[in-house]
Chains A and B, each alone.
Chain A
Amino acid sequence: ELKVEQNPLFLSMQEGKNYTIYCNYSTTSDRLYWYRQDPGKSLESLFVLLSNGAVKQEGRLMASLDTKARLSTLHITAAVHDLSATYFCAVDMEGNNDMRFGAGTRLTVKP
């Protein structure tokens, strides 16, 4: 059974600091997705990672994928308050249309 584990589940940061969110998964997959969800809102796509070693960056967020380690990271650089949200990773079940999500990391950035 595929398991997708994120850590930490809760993260409180000071503005200007750096931190990394980890997403581990338990089966082979080379497709991993990161989404952002604001409270009471829908999910917004952040990154699509499609191969081992893939790295994508958008503003203060950078995501990477290591399929051999079954690990993806979401790195936050110089956090700002606007990044406060819940971040989810999701893994494609070996291409059979079954997406599995992690439990989410609730990020709070404090002034």
Chain B
Amino acid sequence: NAGVTQTPKFQVLKTGQSMTLQCAQDMNHEYMSWYRQDPGMGLRLIHYSVGAGITDQGEVPNGYNVSRSTTEDFPLRLLSAAPSQTSVYFCASSFGVLNTEAFFGQGTRLTVV
């Protein structure tokens, strides 16, 4: 059972570079989301999607873009990486947005130098 798959697991970027973090789920979940986790803090919601073609901003969306062209995939794009974006990124999915538990990917540890 694959569940939620994130790639890559680790990434080092130089300031100003762009990249895409990949997230795919095979559970036919409608709801997908991206979080970042910083030391001593809980997870903060970056962007989320309630279905293919629909995305919205979360708590900390600046510097990130998302798209949802299929139910399975929800990539996160860093447009111009900054050291403040050094973090661990988690993708999550759930069957519906309400009343259901979220399943998380294994995380991507991103360092921007």
Separation of A100 and B58 alpha carbons in the complex (Å)? 10
Kindly count the residue-residue contacts between A and B in the assembled complex, taking CB atoms under 8 Å apart: 58
Q: Say what secondary structure dominates the interface of chain A.
A: strand
Give the residue of B59, B92, B106 whose beta carbon is less than 8 angstroms from that of A100. Answer: B59
| Interface pick from A13-21, A42-50, A68-76 | A42-50
Name A101's closest neighbour in chain B (CB-CB): B42
Residues of A contacting B102 in the complex (Cβ-Cβ under 8 angstroms): 33, 43, 45, 99
Residue count of chain B within 8 Å CB distance of chain A: 27
Tell me if A95 counts as interface (CB < 8 A to partner B): yes
Residues of A contacting B103 in the complex (Cβ-Cβ under 8 angstroms): 45
Residues of B contacting A45 in the complex (Cβ-Cβ under 8 angstroms): 101-103
Tell me if A98 counts as interface (CB < 8 A to partner B): yes
Please give 4 more A-B residue pairs, beta carbons under 8 A apart, in addition to A41-B107, A99-B102, A103-B42: A41-B106, A45-B102, A97-B48, A101-B42
Which residues of chain B have a CB within 8 Å of any CB of chain A? 31, 33, 35, 40-45, 48, 50, 56, 58-59, 90, 92, 97-107
Shortest Cβ-Cβ A-B pairs, 3 listed: A101-B42, A45-B101, A43-B104
